[in-house]
Structures are given as C-alpha cells and as structure tokens.
Structure 1
C-alpha cells in the first residue's frame, strides 16, 4: 500500500508540473498573440503616419508658389532580355527652377508678371541655369507598374521636399507613438514596407522599414518599443483567472491525495486497532479459560488456597476486561463532561503500591519500581480513573524501554492541588512527537516498530486528567528517558 501511495504522490507531482507547464505555455502563447496584435495595430498607424507626412510634404511644396517650380519627366520602358524575360526600366528627370534665386531677389514674396516673363526667358535661353536631377533604374523587381510609377513620384517629392526625421517624428507623436527614427541608404531597392517582428518577450521591439525614395535606395527605419506592462495589464483578467483556476485544480488534486492518504492511514489504524484489541482481550480470556478448567477439577477445588488463587485470578482477569472496556467507552466521548467521576479521598501511597503490584512485567525485562510518594499522602480524585492513568503511564514506560528500566513515581503538594510525577529512564520521545503524543491513534515513530499498541493510551490518560480539571505535561530526551507530570486540583 505504501508503494502505491508513493507512486500516487509521484504521479500527482508529475500531473501538477505538466498542468503548470501547459498553463504557462498557453499564457506565453496568449502573450505572444497580444504582442503580435499590438505590432499589427501600431504598424498600421506608422504606415498612416507616413502617408500623412507625404501629403504634408506635397502641401509644403505647393506653398512655395511660382518662386520655385519643379518640372519632371517620367519614362517607363519594357523590353525582353536574351532569354525572353521582361525588363522594366524607369527614368526620371526633374528640373528645379528657383525664381528668386535666378532673379537675385532676396525677400520672400511672389514674383510680378514682368519678373515671371523675364524668368521664362532666362530658362529658355540657358537650361544650365536649371537644377536638374536624373535617376534611371531597373524596376523589373517592382511588383507592378503602378508601384514603379509611384517610385518615380516619390523621387520627385524627395527632390521637391526632402524627407526629414523631424518631420515624420512630429506626425508620429500626433498619433501618440514614440519611436527611434533612422534614415538609411539601402544596398538594394525595396518597393514596399517591411516589418521585423520582435525577437524578445522581455523588452519587445519591432521595426518598420519603408522606402521614401526607391530610385535613390533611400528608406526610413522606425523602431517602436512594445509596452509589455500595458500588454500584461490588458491580460490582467486572463492571468488572474488562469492563476485562480490553477490554484483551485492543484488544491483539489492535493486534497484528493490527502484524503486517500488519510483513508489509508485510517485503514492501517483500524487493522492495528483490531490486532491490538484481540491481543489485549486474549490475555484475560486465556486466564479465565484456564481458571474455569481448574474449577472443573474436583481435586484442585479441595485445596482451599488454590481455590482462592483461582478466584483471585478470575477476579483480576475480569477487572482487566472491565478496565479495558471502560477505556474504550471513555475514549469515545466527545468531551470530558461526559465522563462520569466518582471523587473520593484516599491514600495515594497505598494506591501506587497496588498499581505496581498489578503490573505484569515481561520476563525479558528487568524493571525496578520506586514509590517515592510521601507516606499518608491524601488525595481527592476518582480512584479507578487514577489507577488507569498510572497503569497506562507505567505500562508505556515498560513497553518503550530497553531490557533494564527504572520507574519512579512521586507526588508533591502545590498551592492549588497536587502534582504526580512518573519518571523513567527508557527510550525517550522524539521532539517531533512531543506535541502530538496525546492525540488519538498517534504513535509517532513507535508505529514503525513491532511494539503493539493502538495509540490510545496517552490520549486516554489526558482525557481522564482533563475530566478532573487537571493538566498533563511531559519532558523527554531520546536515549535518556521521560517524565510525565499530572497536576490535579484539590
């Protein structure tokens, strides 16, 4: 049975660890999903901010009026290479005409009609006075012609109104986005925005790389930090529910194991109780059986002395049975008030002597009794219960000792009653068992030995002591012995 219980413990621990692992894996997946969801949502905001910034750059160009003019020429051609593969090539020529600069006008104002006419003549006479930018690139890798045309427009926008970190940062802040911005020159042309997902769950970050002038291989890298604390707060109810559910299931599993262990222990106690009860009943019954056989012998009954010895043995066996059944009866009471007391005054010294004489000492042990109770020490208590108390303590001292043991019984008067002390030099009681030896059916380390017992003796002693309104305590050292002290009010 113990092997099965141990196996059950191991399987339960494995089940708990497996459940916690699955729960942690599920929560991790949920956290990753929340991070990805935040990335997607924020990535869309970044793209919208870039579009908004492009429109703002276009509006800025328009406000320059006729003082600065940009003339662009877009050209896209398609051809086939030697193996029949389609080749798309785009060319952009952008002319920038700065009227105020060409006319030498310092103030910021619109040009007059005469100035506009003179500017046109100057441009027509010499194209060298015009800032021209030309870009030609193989756009075969562009997903579509529309994206290629859009790249040429982006080149024109970059010439007309250059892309700046400050400009895009202001737009992002309008959308409550704080990001690290870098303008880079790429090794190859990219046509569409790309997102690099987070690689860490502790300080997660993601990057959005967007080309703003594809023909010049210029791109902006926007790196955003994902607020993990905000993600965890949003998952608060999920986390709380998972923790509560985990604790509840673990508690139920442990409670089930505890119940099984308790039932196993009770079954073991029941078997031990039955075995011990049979052993305890067998001795007086065997004595009675032997005495009854002697009574049937007429020759033995002719000897008066022998007859008196037989009747004395019968009386003692019956007293033992009566005391044993009284113990079983009293131990079942739920409170001490239910135990009947017949209080009387008697000589404790004489009672201790009678108890010592009634003790059956095993033939394998050498027991020395010391009755140190002062002569004529009067006490008021239930005589039969006190006999049971002393008998249990003395029998325990004999049972849990080596081959030689000395048992000393003493008594002293106190200010509020008397104190009876039963001391031995037996095996002693472990410190872990001291606070539990008075519990019913508890035997401590004795349960692992072959010493018979039900774990009721000391519980019965405490019950009878409490019924008298007294107290019982114990001092013990393993290998030295034990000392039980019983305080009874008088």
Structure 2
C-alpha cells in the first residue's frame, strides 16, 4: 500500500510538472508571438509613412496649378484660447493672386498686421474679447480688401484650427500639404502602387476619407483591430490636414508570416515540450514496468514456494517410507518410492537449473562460445536423450536443409530447442505432435518449432516472453512451471543478435520461429 501511494504521488507530481512546464512554454510563446506581431505592425506603420512621404516627394516637383512662390499669401487672422476645451483656436486666410505680389515681387506674404487675442481667465472677459475680436476681424477683412483688389484674387480660403495647447504643429508644413493637394491632387491608385512594393507579402485596402471631426489632426493615427491570430492594422494618414482629408490603409497581418519569423523559437519550444512528454511517458512506462515486475516477482515467489513445496513434501514422504523397516521389505513399493523420489528430484533440479541459466543470461559479461557445429547431430542427440513425461505420447519430426553446419553457441542452441520442446509437451494434450525445422538460407539460421497444443490467447502472446509470466490457458493449473522458459529463450536468441516471433491459435497449437544471423 505504501509503494502504491508513492507511485501515485510520483505520477501526480510528474503530470503537474509537465502541465506547468507546458503551460509556461505556451505562455512564453504567446508573448513572443505578440511581440513579433507588434514588430510587424510597427514595420507596416513605418512602411505606410515612408510610402506617403515618397508619394509627396513625387508630387512636389509637378507643375503648379494654383500656387507658386510669387503669388501666395498667408495671414493669421485671429488666435485665441478656448479655456473650456484647453485648446488654441487659429483662424487663417490662405490665398493666391493673379500675377506677382503687391509691393515687393520677392515677398512671399502680404504684410498685414497680425491680430492676436490673448488668454483671459474669466468667462466674461473671454466673451468680451470674442466680441472685440470679431470687430477687429471685420476691420481686418476690410483692410485686406483695400490692399488686394478683388480682380487680383485667384484663390482664397479660410480655416479655423483648434489644437491642444501642448501640441502645436508646424503651420508651414501643414500649409505646404494644402498647397500640394491643390497643385497635385492625391491619386489613390498611384499611392497603392507604391505601397504594394513595400507590403508585397500583405493584403491591404486603401480609401480616401474626409473626417467630420472638428478637432485638428496633423499626425498619422494607427488602430489595431481583430483577434490575436487574425489581426489587422488601420492607419489614417492626413495628406491634407487643413481640410481633414485622410488616406486610410487597412493591412491584414498574416499569422503565418509571424510564425515564420519566430520559427526557431517555435521549433525549440515544441522540441522541449516533446522531450518533456517523452521523458514523462518513459517515466510512467518505467514505473508501470517496475510495478509489473514487482507483481511478477511476488507471483514468482508464491509459485516457487508452491512448486518447491510439492517435491519437498514428496521427498519427505519417500524418506518416511524408507524409514519404516516393515515397508522396506516390499520391493515393488520400494521401486515406486525410488522412482517418485528421482522424478521429484529431477523437477527440483530443473527449477534450480532454470534459475541459474536466467542469472547467467542476465549477466551482460557472460560470453558466448561461438563455433561451427553440425546442428543436425546436436538436435538428434537432444531428442534421443529427451525424457518423455509419463502419460504423454510424444512424436517429434525434424527437417533440415542440405547444409547443416551452423555458427553459434551449441550449448545455448541446445537449451533453446530443449525449452521449446519442453513447453510444447507441457502445454499439449496426451497426444503431442512436434515439428522442428532447422533451415539455413541467405546467411541466416531459422529454427521453427510447432506443436498441436492448447495455443496461446492473442492478448497474451506479447507477454509470454516476460520473466515469471505464465499464461492463463492451462488445461491443468497444477502443471509445474515458474514462467522462465520463453524469457530465457528470448535472452539467448538476442545474445546471438537474432529475433524470435510467435504465432498461435487457441486449440490448434503454437509455432515459434527463431532467426539467427550467420
């Protein structure tokens, strides 16, 4: 019971350790996958920004349709602070003139006084400043009209930009984007062609969008959507921030591509998990095998006690008979007692011989005495000296190939055939028919022993070669034996670098085939 409890504890601890290690590996792999996924998303984001910059640089040198260096003017009409939203409001005027500028041909901007309304702490002050700002704005427009004749205005536009106080964009770059859009409009097909060169391994779609959001946006925005195994990224790039115009690129992230990037990590983790699984299975298999061997040893001890007890009891009765002087005068009884004593001594000697042979066979330092001998003569001698048990009618047929000289250990080969014949006789009815074939072909010795015995169930055919195992299909449970015969044969065959196989049918007999290389 203590051993059983310990085995169960070892199993539980091994399984828990395996689960924990596997779970840790899976968690690490998930984090690595997420990290690789983030890296790929960052690469895609940078590729989209680089493509947008490349496309802007391609559009910039194209001929100007509206603006050029000499006819553009820009005026910051009004700037004030929205205390409630904590934003700075900029009201801008941007336009183009026919011909050159008013006073100075080299001037880029019309020099008009800039009007700025500064931040006030109270709501009333802010309201008053707004009223004042509107009045001044009308005055400024009037002044602008006086400076720029209506017929000189080629293009005029005004903007109201609300931006947080802590994030002030570069107005020159924003205006340049606006000018670029008017002179060389953004063409989605051209942008897609450039983007396809950078995202050749990803599926993507693009569209143009005009945002209804009044808040000013001049930086690209990236959103991650989808699931862990099927993610996609959506990037909004403002190609004309003043008009809230964006190009939106939606890119699908290939899980296969991510897994390929982390291929070595996956392979290493899978190998580690597989190795741990193999070790756990091997450990469980070893424990089960040790448990079965322990059970077989217990069964062996009980069987040995039973088997040795019988000849000892018989010998004790024989000695008691011989100790009675009055019974010793009966010669017929004396002969029977002596015959029984010899038979029981033979059984006892056979048990001890098998134990000795198994001990020698298990010893890895035991060397085979390999030599060339005539197997036909060896087998004929073995059959001639075989002692047929009482109550059995045994017939042994032999078949040999033309060549009968083989190379092996003659003593062990004799023990192999002797054990197989003994098993065939033991597990058969009173009429026993045994065929022994010794064939030499293709540098291989084949020994085949078949009988007409009781047969072996299919469920037990793989276990009969285990030590101390005895089958359940016995006609008589009192048959002597300790389950070492076939295991001993297998050990001797493997010592010769050979193999052994078995075919059997219930009620029809058993055939055992041994192949030993020559």
**Which TM-score tier does this pair reach, normalised by the shorter chain?**
0.5 to 0.7
Q: Return the match for 1:187 from 201, 209, 212.
A: 212
Change (3 A) 1:415 1:330: closer
Give the structure 1 partner of residue 433 of structure 2: 409
Residue 255 of structure 1 deviates from its aligned partner by 2.1
Change (3 A) 1:481 1:2: farther
Q: What is the alpha-carbon distance in structure 2 between the residues aligned to residue 86 and residue 252 of structure 1? A: 65
Change (3 A) 1:279 1:445: closer
Comparing 51-60 and 72-81, the one that deviates more: 51-60
SS at match of 2:306: helix
Q: What is the alpha-carbon distance in structure 2 between the residues aligned to residue 174 and residue 33 of structure 1? A: 25
8 Å contact kept, 2:468–2:484: yes
Q: What is the alpha-carbon distance in structure 1 between the residues aligned to residue 339 and residue 370 of structure 2? A: 29
Q: Return the match for 1:169 from 181, 191, 194.
A: 191
SS at match of 2:213: coil
Give the structure 2 partner of residue 276 of structure 1: 303
Q: Return the match for 2:345 from 318, 324, 329.
A: 318
Residue 208 of structure 1 deviates from its aligned partner by 1.3
Give the structure 2 partner of residue 430 of structure 1: 457
Q: Return the match for 2:158 from 117, 135, 156.
A: 135
Give the structure 1 partner of residue 246 of structure 2: 219
Give the structure 1 partner of residue 116 of structure 2: none
Give the structure 1 partner of residue 26 of structure 2: 24
Residue 410 of structure 1 deviates from its aligned partner by 5.5
SS at match of 1:356: coil
Change (3 A) 1:158 1:32: same
Give the structure 2 partner of residue 394 of structure 1: 425
Asked if residue 356 in structure 1 is aligned to residue 389 in structure 2, the reply is: yes
Q: What is the alpha-carbon distance in structure 1 between the residues aligned to residue 503 and residue 153 of structure 2? A: 111
Matches within 5 A, 1:140-289: 142-144=163-165, 147=168, 150=170, 154=174, 157-159=177-179, 161-162=181-182, 163-165=185-187, 169=191, 173=195, 176-177=198-199, 180-190=205-215, 191=217, 192-202=219-229, 204-226=231-253, 228-289=255-316
Q: What is the alpha-carbon distance in structure 1 between the residues aligned to residue 296 and residue 340 of structure 2? A: 32
Residue deviations 1:83-119 (CA, integer Å, cap 9, x gap)? x66664332222223549xxxxxxxxxx9xxxxxxxx
Residue 34 of structure 1 deviates from its aligned partner by 0.9
Q: What is the alpha-carbon distance in structure 1 between the residues aligned to residue 189 and residue 74 of structure 2? A: 24
SS at match of 2:308: helix
Residue 75 of structure 1 deviates from its aligned partner by 2.6
Asked if residue 477 in structure 1 is aligned to residue 477 in structure 2, the reply is: no
Change (3 A) 1:477 1:284: same
Change (3 A) 1:210 1:151: farther
Residue deviations 1:208-247 (CA, integer Å, cap 9, x gap)? 1123333422122133444555533332322222222222
Change (3 A) 1:318 1:131: same
Which structure 1 residue ranges, 5 or more long, are not aligned? 101-110, 112-122, 360-368, 375-380, 398-404
Residue 266 of structure 1 deviates from its aligned partner by 2.1
Give the structure 2 partner of residue 104 of structure 1: none
Change (3 A) 1:278 1:421: same
Matches within 5 A, 1:365-384: 369-371=392-394
Q: What is the alpha-carbon distance in structure 1 between the residues aligned to residue 149 and residue 282 of structure 2? A: 96
Residue 263 of structure 1 deviates from its aligned partner by 1.9
Residue 286 of structure 1 deviates from its aligned partner by 0.7
8 Å contact kept, 1:392–1:457: yes
8 Å contact kept, 1:389–1:464: no
Give the structure 1 partner of residue 137 of structure 2: none
Q: What is the alpha-carbon distance in structure 1 between the residues aligned to residue 378 and residue 167 of structure 2? A: 113
Residue 164 of structure 1 deviates from its aligned partner by 0.7
Give the structure 1 partner of residue 142 of structure 2: none
Change (3 A) 1:301 1:214: same
User: Taking structure 1 as the reference length, what is the TM-score of the superposition?
Assistant: 0.68
Matches within 5 A, 1:284-295: 284-295=311-322
User: Taking structure 2 as the reference length, what is the TM-score of the superposition?
Assistant: 0.65
Give the structure 2 partner of residue 71 of structure 1: 73
Q: What is the alpha-carbon distance in structure 2 between the residues aligned to residue 421 and residue 48 of structure 1? A: 83
Q: What is the alpha-carbon distance in structure 1 between the residues aligned to residue 494 and residue 193 of structure 2? A: 84
Residue 261 of structure 1 deviates from its aligned partner by 2.0
SS at match of 1:73: strand
Q: What is the alpha-carbon distance in structure 2 between the residues aligned to residue 16 and residue 466 of structure 1? A: 35
Q: What is the alpha-carbon distance in structure 2 between the residues aligned to residue 174 and residue 420 of structure 1? A: 76
Change (3 A) 1:308 1:465: farther
Give the structure 1 partner of residue 132 of structure 2: none
SS at match of 1:23: helix
SS at match of 1:285: helix
Change (3 A) 1:355 1:466: farther
Q: What is the alpha-carbon distance in structure 1 between the residues aligned to residue 54 and residue 381 of structure 2? A: 108
Q: What is the alpha-carbon distance in structure 2 between the residues aligned to residue 465 and residue 244 of structure 1? A: 36
Q: What is the alpha-carbon distance in structure 2 between the residues aligned to residue 75 and residue 65 of structure 1? A: 20
Asked if residue 36 in structure 1 is aligned to residue 38 in structure 2, the reply is: yes
Give the structure 1 partner of residue 93 of structure 2: 93
